[in-house]
Amino acid sequence: MSLFWFLFFSAHLAIASSLKVHSADSGLKHKQPDMQLKLYHMTSLKSPPNSTSLLFAYMFAKDEERIRYFHSRLAKNSDANASSKKVGPKLAGIPLKSGLSMGSGNYYVKMGLGSPTKYYTMIVDTGSSFSWLQCQPCTIYCHIQEDPVFNPSASKTYKTVPCSSSQCSSLKSATLNEPTCSKQSNACVYKASYGDSSFSLGYLSQDVLTLTPSQTLSSFVYGCGQDNQGLFGRTDGIIGLANNELSMLSQLSGKYGNAFSYCLPTSFSTPNSPKEGFLSIGTSSLTPSSSYKFTPLLKNPNNPSLYFIDLESITVAGRPLGVAASSYKVPTIIDSGTVITRLPTPVYTTLKNAYVTILSKKYQQAPGISLLDTCFKGSLAGISEVAPDIRIIFKGGADLQLKGHNSLVELETGITCLAMAGSSSIAIIGNYQQQTVKVAYDVGNSRVGFAPGGCQ
């Protein structure tokens, strides 16, 4: 077993063990030292694994855990969604960058917090309803992060949120975990847990949020993490943009409107690219609306905070896949936190067979790697020139038109794979397929739009 995989599995064991230690009525509690030591080896890595295949295996393993998490969420009743049709001023585009250099397959922005303002490297996640970052004094554990850890005592505007507050009562819908209360300070204690067994535990807090120097929110509610364990790379925390009253989106909607848009820059295909994407919050970020093709957002009674859309059909090289229309009728989520798109198994199998039929005329097939089972001997640049276009079509005519950089990934030098996988009962449109496409979430009007053309 390589050192990387030893540390990876040690981290998972440490996290799983530590989840059993926190009691429901005692707020924050310390863990056993040996568990903390095992995890420290994993999270103190200052850069991603230097082997490309190990890096992808690491992120795909995390991706698979997230998919299982969505499966379990769809089987449960949970949160209530928020909605607003308020039209407000547009927030200037905030630079959005690939987290690949920090060991994350997700994307991050710099978020300002506190008075005076300090900036932090935060993952943007449309599948999360709650925002948090690591905080001093790291009472139990903090992983190694990109920036100095936030110090609440250095902010003149920081305060904890009491247990009796409405925000504390709303934590169950945002985190799917019951809040607890600190007996010492009467501060509300949150726990945000994720599908890969990662979690953050700390105090529900309030402070000044700064997205740009002229655009702030004086009473931003978030988590101040004192025990943060798992596979977050070297990022400082997570920004939740799901449709829930505690998400950053909903907290900003009263001022700017219930909408946001982003464009994800290329990541794996050009890992050293200096290009940036953007995140923009507010209904004015949807303009010009004529540049977008929209599809309705669907309500899912089990998970109204997630963004569901209606997958209608897929074409390869302009030809519709020969599958029954019913094969597409599974819950379909668009998600910035999942890397690789998952399609219903009958759809994926037919798609990959069509892809192989075309590409195998020029390129020899190679064994699959990790969860990607359709690979070829050749470079991404070379195969992309002859790869067939894939068009993913949603209700209302909105679509994602995928060229080589959105459908193929070079996992090892000279080995390039189709960047999709099958799934038994749900579909997820991952961030790899969203790269360089402007995606608009018009939550107030229950629709999502796509506009090709890059992140200009």
Q: Using an 8 Å Cβ cutoff, are 109 and 279 in contact? A: yes
**In one letter, which amino acid is 161?**
V
End-to-end C-alpha distance for the chain, whole angstroms: 44
Helices 33-43 and 3-18 pack at an angle, to 10 degrees, of 140
Residues in the chain: 456
Helix, strand, coil: what percent of the chain each, to 5? 25, 30, 40
Active-site choice (63, 125, 207, 227): 125
Task: Round to whole Å and give the CA distance between 339 and 58.
Answer: 12
Q: Which residues contact 299 (CB under 8 A, 6 or more apart)?
A: 81, 308
- The arrangement of strands across the sheet holding 415-418 comes to 365-366, 375-377, 415-418, 408-412
Which listed residue (196, 335, 399, 442) is catalytic?
335
| Catalytic residue status for 335 | yes
Structure tokens of 74? 């769809």
CA distance linking residue 190 with residue 229, whole number of Å:
14
Contact 77, 168 (CB under 8 A): no
H-helix segments, 44-91: 52-74
| Known active-site residue 310 | no
Give the catalytic positions in this structure.
125, 335
